[in-house]
């Protein structure tokens, strides 16, 4: 299953959920606030910019934002909100595509580094971030913590969320560190709709080693965008990596 096949025109059309889910103000505002502060008055580059969920409000805060995005339908959806002059986007893979100029901040949110399905591609993503940053620049990653402690012994699947009209089910390949999230939506009838997304999951310690290979040092790690303490029970983290100053 290729990423281009997942993030198609139908997915792009249905991706935005204004005011709800990951677009809810209580989810989005802390992320934008933190990224604006980390940009420090400089330019920001978003890997996998998508439909502009974060980039549009960040640009409205006065931060110049450029994006890299693999999916043309997602770029097209972004263009309904902001033109090329406001938020330039380079079409390409975040592990290799190059955006013009230098940046004080590169960021990659909402677990999206997992869309790169091999360790080599994920390391290349870190190196691509470093390539775009000025000395002292930061690379910020928002990522979930693999929930293997909740996986019953001998089983490969786990329901991670259930509510009326929706069931989320993860299937794991623990040898290759791959997980496929199965999103089932349904109504009162007999039919259900399935959307699947594969990812390569990454432990925080492995992420830190990838950062070191690209020349970064871990500056901070919190459980969320608001700065909550990261603990053994945290289900996600916001990790800030920094290049050495000149």
Structural domain that includes position 180: 148-198
Residues 74 and 130 in one domain: yes
Is the same domain home to 155 and 40? no
Q: Residues 164-173: contacts with CB within 8 Å, 24+ apart?
A: 172/148
Q: Give the tens place of pLDDT for each residue, 46-101.
A: 999 999 999 999 999 999 999 999 999 999 999 999 999 999 999 999 999 999 99
Could you give the number of structural domains in the chain? 2
Residues 11 and 69 in one domain: yes
Predicted pLDDT of residue 241: 98
Close Cβ partners of 42 (under 8 Å, ≥ 6 residues apart)? 103, 104, 105, 134, 137
- Find out whether 16 and 77 touch, Cβ atoms under 8 Å: yes
Asked if residue 84 and residue 206 are part of one domain, the reply reads yes
Q: Locate 164 and state its tokens.
A: 């009326």
pLDDT at 154: 85
Q: Are strands 157-163 and 166-173 parallel, antiparallel or unpaired?
A: antiparallel
Residues 207 and 189 in one domain: no
pTM: 0.92
| Distance linking the first and last C-alpha atoms of the chain | 42
What pLDDT digit, counting tens, does each position of 120-150 carry? 999 999 999 999 999 999 999 999 999 888 8
């Amino acid at each position: 299953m290729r990423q281009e096949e997942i993030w198609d025109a139908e997915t792009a059309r249905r991706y935005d959920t204004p005011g709800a889910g990951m677009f809810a103000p209580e989810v989005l505002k802390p992320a934008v606030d933190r990224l604006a502060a980390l940009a420090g008055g400089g330019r920001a580059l978003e890997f996998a910019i998508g439909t502009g969920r974060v980039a549009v409000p960040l640009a409205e805060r006065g931060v110049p934002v450029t994006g890299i995005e693999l999916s043309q339908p997602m770029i097209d959806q972004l263009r309904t909100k902001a033109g090329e002059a406001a938020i330039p986007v380079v079409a390409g893979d975040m592990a290799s595509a190059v955006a013009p100029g230098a940046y004080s901040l590169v960021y990659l949110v909402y677990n999206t580094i997992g869309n790169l399905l091999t360790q080599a591609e994920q390391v290349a993503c870190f190196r691509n971030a470093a390539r775009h940053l000025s000395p002292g620049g930061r690379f910020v990653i928002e990522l979930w913590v693999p929930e293997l402690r909740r996986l019953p012994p001998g089983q490969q699947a786990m329901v991670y969320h259930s509510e009326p009209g929706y069931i989320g089910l993860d299937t794991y390949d623990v040898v290759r560190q791959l997980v496929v999230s199965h999103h089932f939506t349904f109504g009162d009838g007999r039919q259900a709709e399935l959307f699947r997304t594969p990812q390569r999951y990454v432990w925080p310690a492995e992420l830190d080693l990838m950062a070191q290979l690209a020349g970064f040092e871990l500056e901070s790690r919190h459980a969320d965008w608001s700065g909550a303490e990261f603990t053994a029970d945290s289900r996600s983290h916001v990790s800030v990596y920094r290049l050495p100053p000149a």
